[in-house]
């Protein structure tokens, strides 16, 4: 049997003016239109599958940054990922 993936709260990041194109913690430029995410501990360049429990839709994202830094959240998603889920995250 496989292990159950962790359940957590995700947030959207990189929405503010001027964030697109800034350097991330990995040194890569942030692209709000790419399927990327920020995670506190996952290795840069690694891939994580994120699933919206409400819709069952999953998206594979690449870790390019560090975060989130808000208590209770475990991953920050780019605008492109959130758009695929067709939800608004706060």
Instruction: Judge if the upstream peptide bond of residue 68 is cis by omega within 30 degrees of 0.
Output: yes
For residues 88 and 5, the model is more confident at: 5
Domains in the chain, number: 1
Structural domain of residue 17, as residue ranges?
A: 9-85
CATH classification at residue 58: 2.40.40.10
Chain centroid, CA 58 distance in Å: 12
pTM of the model: 0.87
* Predicted confidence (pLDDT) per residue in 21-71, tens digit: 999 999 999 999 999 999 999 999 999 999 988 888 999 999 999 999 999
Q: Is residue 4 situated within a structural domain?
A: no
Q: Which of 65, 46, 48, 41 is nearest to 5 (CA)?
A: 48
Distance between CA atoms of 79 and 86, rounded to whole angstroms? 10
């Amino acid at each position: 049997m496989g292990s159950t993936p962790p359940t957590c709260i995700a947030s959207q990041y990189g929405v503010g003016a001027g964030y697109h194109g800034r350097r991330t913690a990995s040194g890569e430029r942030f692209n709000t239109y790419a399927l990327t995410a920020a995670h506190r501990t996952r290795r840069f360049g690694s891939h994580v599958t994120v699933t919206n429990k409400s819709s069952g839709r999953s998206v594979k994202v690449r870790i390019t940054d560090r975060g989130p830094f808000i208590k209770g959240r475990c991953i920050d998603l780019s605008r492109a990922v959130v758009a695929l889920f067709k939800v608004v995250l706060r």
